[in-house]
Structure 1
Amino acid sequence: MRPILTAAGTLALAATMAIGLAAPASAAHGQLVLSGQVIENPSGCHAGQTRPLTVQNNTDEYVLVHAGPACDGEVLEVIAPGDTASGYAAEFGQSVHLN
């Protein structure tokens, strides 16, 4: 009887977590300044058009700087709201992603 209760509890926990984590996609609020281009309420992937890549995160979300041009490759830096990219991410970054 105990294994059945444990399995039921595990399934209930998994279902609760899946529902709680499955939030609808929405844009960040604010501006992302990517190599001088201002993007209002950005979401998804944005490729940098110039090098070095400059990123100023004026949104309420974290920005991931990727080594690849299509938000692929290594994540070089995570930029918190209100921060800018460091020299390493600016030099080697090619795209950014916001959830």
Structure 2
Amino acid sequence: MMRGTAKVLGACAAAAMLALTTPGTAQAAQGVLFIDRAPHQDPSGCYPLGDFAPSEVANFTDEVAFVWSGPSCDGRVTHPVLPGQVTVAHGRSIFIQ
């Protein structure tokens, strides 16, 4: 009986410790990323760009955005868009942390 009680108490203690720990949060860029004048507040991840015409990108965030040649942020990086930069993006998608 003591062995079973110890196992139950150990499991409860482990569960309590897991419940009290907070997972790390992913950091999104702070600010606004405009893609063809559409605002994306505190963006994070991959966004599609125009399929046939270059897109206008305005990066008013605190992170560098990277234009990719592929549609799902795949292929190769064609160029970075620095914070505060407005550019015409010749690519299919853009990624920002």
* TM-score between the two structures when normalised by the length of structure 1: 0.66
Once the two structures are superposed, what CA deviation does each residue of 1:7-27 show, in whole Å capped at 9, x if it has no partner?
xxxxxxxxxxxxxxxx85211
The answer for the alignment partner of 1:4 in structure 2 is: none
* 3-state SS in 2 of match to 1:31: strand
Calculate percent identity across the aligned residue pairs: 37
Gaps of 5+ in 2: 1-23
Give structure 1 stretches of 5+ with no counterpart: 1-22
Equivalent of residue 93 in structure 2, options 88, 92, 95: 95
Runs of 4+ in structure 1 over 3 Å off: none
Number of aligned positions between the proteins:
73
Normalized per residue, which structure has more helix? 1
Tell me how far apart the structure 2 counterparts of residues 71 and 83 of structure 1 sit (CA, whole Å).
Answer: 20
Compute the TM-score of the two structures, normalised by the length of structure 2. Answer: 0.68
Which structure has greater strand proportion? Answer: 2
One-letter identity of the residue aligned with 1:28: A
Task: Tell me the residue number matched to 2:85.
Answer: 83
Structure 1 or 2, whichever has the larger Rg, is: 2
Deviation digits for residues 47-94 of structure 1, max 9, x if unmatched? 1146221111000000000011101111011111001225xxx2x311
Q: Give the conservation status (yes or no) of the 8 Å contact 1:77–1:85.
A: no
Instruction: State whether residues 67 and 74 of structure 1, in contact with CA within 8 Å, keep that contact through their aligned partners in structure 2.
Output: yes
Quick one: which of 29, 36, 54 aligns to 2:56? 54
Contact 1:32 1:39 in 2 (8 A): yes
